[in-house]
Amino acid sequence: MEAQLLQTQPVHSHRTYGHFIDGSLSDASVTLIDRHSPADGRLLARFSAGTSQDVDAAVAAALKAFNRENWRDLSGSARAGLLNKLADLIADNADYLVRLEAEESAKATKMSVYELAMVVEMTRFAASLAVTEKGETHTQLGPLSLGLVTKEPCGVVGMIVPWNFPLICLFQKLPYALAAGCTVVIKPSELTSSTALEIARLASTAGFPQGVINVVTGTGTAVGEALTSHPDVSLISFTGSTGVGRHIAGKCGEAVKRVALELGGKGANIVFADADLDAALDGVLFGFVFNQGEVCAAGSRLLIEESVADAFVSKLAERAKRIVVGHPMDKNADMSALIHEGHMNKVLGYVADGQKEGAILTCGGERLQGQAYDNGFFVGPTILTEVTSSMRVFREEIFGPVLCVTKFKTQEEAIHLANSTDFGLANGVWSKDIDKIFTVARQLKSGTVFANTFLEAAPQLPQGGVKKSGFGRENGLDALNEYLDTKQTYVKL
């Protein structure tokens, strides 16, 4: 059985993949993209550099499965059964998938274990939606008139995903699109494509018909562009940077094609003096070191009430120094390497830039040295204080383990500072005063507000951004609706 085959793959030999199209993995192409470990430099995997012809073949397979093979008309309970079977197979193969995910995206194994658990939960939740989705009936339209509102799957969906959470980002889309009755072509990041391909193989073992799930690997400029502009793709669901998202939205606009965008963020944790400060220390630390800060919803800014600021930051720096930075396979590691050298240099460049603009480096801020780190791109938890709202480090997404600290005196000032970036993904507020929590939460311009916690996630809750963090929602009932077209049928009796 394919699932057992997955588990017996040798751990330290690299994998070479073709694309997954129409139910099977093709031979690898002549041109390959090598993925080396950002933590130790080993060759981990070789992915086929896809072309527009590969995208054409994948979209044709997805369209055939949608229309002629009747995936669109399969009952919700049949689709739910397949999704639950897929969830079982993912759980059975979790150890192997955890390893692939941790190695390629250089996340600590602990993070990857969490990621796999979320993936299983999201798949089961989406399965439950497949059997509970409802339409509307209108009987008050006048004599002998009846109105029906029904939902129909929108067709072939192109899914373009990033490298920071290759599986979570994919599963905030995939099971919902499948539950809705859509077929899909996935374009994973060229840095982290293994798990999407392995999931497609597991889905085939679970019994998903050929062509329902396809994966084409390769670059954004070749595969991503071809998928975005393909006339038979009805919707592009994109997760990635705001710059690429803007470009994709422009192309979809020209083609009058639906698009959903999950983009960057610059979240703030607002800590009031009346908060449980010990809990806030844990939440703020987690918010910027989780996955090395390579998190769209990271709490990369701390807005701290002036009266408690100095003591809070000095305790935070002490805790930050105890964070274990290590190899993805080190079970004790809390954080691992940054995704590649260029990204590490960008993160360190921001830290230097912040200092030039007047911020004070309190801890971290340099590439880690020493035997365990020499072949990788490791940066420890970094705290910049005295950050003002005019600085680039305050306004731009750094996407590394860097916290920018700004003091405030009043509630109004805290809200104003939190909203003073182009992004609007997630913010946090810490206080024991429930009135204050709700007053502040209502005024924060973000798709998510965490209160007395940070970076919690549940499949039931819709997630997405406002402002330049994008539009569209993933998870929750909203996620299913992203993939459905609404139709009215007006009947004269």
Instruction: Pull the structure tokens for residue 373.
Output: 């780190």
- Residue 3 CA from chain centroid, whole number: 25
Q: Does 346 bind ligand NAD (CB under 6 A)?
A: no
Q: Does 239 bind ligand NAD (CB under 6 A)?
A: yes
Instruction: Pull the structure tokens for residue 118.
Output: 């979320």
Output the smallest distance, CB 448 to ligand NAD, in A: 10
Give whichever of 380 and 465 is closer to ligand NAD, judged by the CB atom.
465
Q: Does 194 bind ligand NAD (CB under 6 A)?
A: no
Q: Does 197 bind ligand NAD (CB under 6 A)?
A: no
User: Could you tell me if 353 and 404 are in contact, meaning their C-beta atoms sit under 8 angstroms apart?
Assistant: no
Catalytic residue among 101, 262, 305, 474: 262
- Pairing outcome for strands 258-262 and 233-239: parallel
Give whichever of 319 and 340 is closer to ligand NAD, judged by the CB atom.
340
Which residue type does 234 have?
S
**Residues 421 to 460: which contact ligand NAD by CB under 6 A?**
425
Applying CB under 6 A, the span of 258-266, 278-286, 365-373, 485-493 interacting with ligand NAD comes to 258-266
**Which of 26, 128, 241, 439 contacts ligand NAD by CB under 6 A?**
241
Q: Does 404 bind ligand NAD (CB under 6 A)?
A: no
For residue 176, report the phi and psi dihedrals to the nearest 5 degrees: -70, -40
Output the smallest distance, CB 104 to ligand NAD, in A: 12
Q: Does 230 bind ligand NAD (CB under 6 A)?
A: no
341 is catalytic: no
**Which of 225, 276, 353, 478 contacts ligand NAD by CB under 6 A?**
225
For residue 338, report the phi and psi dihedrals to the nearest 5 degrees: -80, 160
Helix axes of 94-105 and 76-92: crossing angle, nearest 10 degrees:
70
Alpha-carbon gap, residue 229 to 155, rounded angstroms: 15
What residues contact residue 383 under an 8 Å CB cut-off, 6+ apart?
A: 313, 316, 317, 320, 361, 362, 363, 364, 402, 403, 405
Output the smallest distance, CB 332 to ligand NAD, in A: 26
Q: Does 327 bind ligand NAD (CB under 6 A)?
A: no
> Binding pattern to ligand NAD, positions 169-188, x when CB under 6 A?
x-----------------x-
Q: Tokens 């930075």 — which residue?
A: 325
262 is catalytic: yes
Applying CB under 6 A, the span of 17-25, 40-48, 209-217, 224-232 interacting with ligand NAD comes to 224-232
- Residue 162 CA from chain centroid, whole number: 7
Alpha-carbon gap, residue 374 to 334, rounded angstroms: 18
For residue 486, report the phi and psi dihedrals to the nearest 5 degrees: -95, 130
Q: Does 397 bind ligand NAD (CB under 6 A)?
A: yes
Q: Does 340 bind ligand NAD (CB under 6 A)?
A: no
> Binding pattern to ligand NAD, positions 14-53, x when CB under 6 A?
----------------------------------------
The site for ligand NAD, by CB under 6 A, has a size of: 31
Taking alpha carbons only, the member of 260, 298, 291 closest to residue 479 is: 260
> Binding pattern to ligand NAD, positions 347-376, x when CB under 6 A?
------------------------------
Alpha-carbon gap, residue 85 to 431, rounded angstroms: 43
* Residue 238: CA count within 13 A, CB half-sphere: 29
**Residues 265 to 284: which contact ligand NAD by CB under 6 A?**
265
Q: What DSSP line would sit under 91-131, residue for residue?
A: HHTHHHHHHHHHHHHT--HHHHHHHHHHHHHHHHHHHHHHT
Q: Does 98 bind ligand NAD (CB under 6 A)?
A: no
Q: Does 229 bind ligand NAD (CB under 6 A)?
A: no
**Which of 50, 155, 162, 459 contacts ligand NAD by CB under 6 A?**
162
Applying CB under 6 A, the span of 26-34, 162-170, 406-414, 430-438 interacting with ligand NAD comes to 162-170
Which residue type does 203 have?
A
User: Could you tell me if 59 and 221 are in contact, meaning their C-beta atoms sit under 8 angstroms apart?
Assistant: no
Q: Does 462 bind ligand NAD (CB under 6 A)?
A: no
Give whichever of 80 and 222 is closer to ligand NAD, judged by the CB atom.
222
Alpha-carbon gap, residue 476 to 176, rounded angstroms: 9
Q: Does 2 bind ligand NAD (CB under 6 A)?
A: no
Which residue type does 414 have?
A
**Which of 175, 181, 264, 299 contacts ligand NAD by CB under 6 A?**
264
Catalytic residue among 154, 169, 182, 296: 296
Alpha-carbon gap, residue 298 to 291, rounded angstroms: 9
Output the furthest CA–CA distance in the chain (Å, rounded).
82
User: Could you tell me if 214 and 20 are in contact, meaning their C-beta atoms sit under 8 angstroms apart?
Assistant: yes
In the complex, the residues that contact ligand NAD under the rule CB under 6 A are 160-165, 169, 187, 189-190, 219-221, 224-225, 228, 239-241, 244, 247-248, 262-265, 296, 397, 399, 425, 465
Active site residues: 262, 296
